[in-house]
Homo-oligomer: A and B are copies of this chain.
Amino acid sequence: MRAAILSVGTELTVGRVQDTNSRFLAAELTGAGVDVVEARTVGDDLGQIAQAMGALAAVADWVLVTGGLGPTADDLTREALARWTARPLVVDGRALAHLEAFYRDRDRPMPPINRKQATRPRGARLIANPHGTAPGVMLRLPGGPVVVLMPGPPREMQPMFRERVLPAVRRASGRVIHSRSLRLVGIGESDIETRIADLMGSDPSVAPYAGLAEVELRVATSDPDARRARSRVDARVAAIRERVGQWIYGEEDDTLEAVIHRLLLLRRETVSVAESLSAGRLATRLTRVAGSSETFAAGIVAYATRTKETLLGVDPDLLRREGSVHPEVAVAMARAAKARTGTSWALATTGVAGPTPGDARRPVGTVYLGLVGPGGEVVREAHLFGDRDAIADRSAQAALVLLWQCLTGRDPDVPTLPSASPTGRP
């Protein structure tokens, strides 16, 4: 079954408001096994709305429209549906009574312009809106496609979709979709594809999505039988795990920091950080997990070179001799964080984020990561790319990858990032 989404509103086409309805509907429909073929956005223009409805109904079984159901002159979605289907707009008696009661309950006179919210194209039925004055509209057209109009505000649209529209979509669909997501770090998207090229068939589908120095592999299929769908996906996931399992840190909505938090909890261990170029990002990541104060103690952002000496006690001779971007500085920073906070692990970052280069040996993007743990110390060198902010973000990610690899015993010789090269290990 195929669906298309139409978002209506000039606030969207001028970029004043971020459309979140399309994504919500796309995710809900996909979860119900419906194939979303297209999403469109047009402004508050009667002709354009009607034209888009017609084009989408030609390619989809369900056309889900949001926005343009308000009472004002630029709310034209109802009128567009009436025009496109050549049906008159009729007043729905029950909806009008409901609307009048809504205002009576609030001791306010109903503005005359609101009357149009009780109208519908002939043959359509209205969908109650418990959260606002605009009811939805559902119209099944001869030949099949169903057009659904819903209000634009997410707090009205979402419950209406979930409670009234989705059940009708599910009844009509008859198929169940099953999917699993694998999350990988320490390996690039194209390297993964090379290793699993023969497993990337069309059923189950296997789609890679690149994030910030991590990749999600989504494995999905649909089937009238839920068990069959599940077992096809599970078999494909097992085959993928055999090839690239060492880089898989989690599934579904796992984050690297959440996985690290759980590993530390299990081991009754804690972590602290000493940051230079990542400048607080490592602490931010490690505290994004609810309950993180059980495993994350504290961080020190020693940004100005002098503060590596004053706050962390890094050897001033070393700093004078080598500058602050040096593997020994990274380890000394981690040692100091561990000593000052008493944690089991400490993680440190130092590097050149740019825009001005460090020196000939240390171009922009050169980063050293230091990790001191219960069993020893490790330094890793990485060469990261992007602008100042991206390099800083990636340095925090690279540090978390190093910690995860050491916590799980994954081979830290595995390059975690472009040309990362470990020079030791715990």
User: Which A residues contact B (CB, under 8 angstroms)?
Assistant: 10-20, 22-30, 36-43, 48, 52, 55, 70-74, 106-108, 111, 113-114, 131-132, 155, 188-191, 193-194, 200, 207-210, 218, 273, 275, 279-284, 287-288, 290, 292-293, 296-307, 310-311, 340-342, 354-356, 383, 385-390, 392, 418-419
Contact = CB atoms under 8 A, between A and B. Distances in A.
A186 B224 CA distance: 54
B41 A13 contact: no
Contacts of A37: 13, 42-43, 48
18 contacts: A11-B207, A11-B209, A13-B37, A17-B23, A17-B209, A18-B18, A18-B20, A38-B52, A106-B418, A111-B188, A113-B193, A131-B387, A280-B287, A280-B299, A280-B301, A283-B283, A292-B303, A300-B311
A25 B200 CA distance: 33
B280 A298 contact: no
The A interface, classified by DSSP as helix, strand, loop or mixed, is mixed
Stoichiometry, copies per complex: 2
Contacts of A15: 22-30, 36
B108 A418 contact: yes
Nearest to A273: B301
A39 B36 contact: no
Given A16-B207, A22-B19, A38-B48, A310 B388 contact: no
Given A73-B200, A290-B355, 11 more contacts: A13-B36, A19-B19, A71-B190, A72-B189, A72-B208, A113-B194, A290-B354, A290-B388, A297-B306, A298-B304, A299-B299
B284 A293 contact: no
A19 B20 CA distance: 8
B290 A279 contact: no
Contacts of A385: 106
B311 A302 contact: no
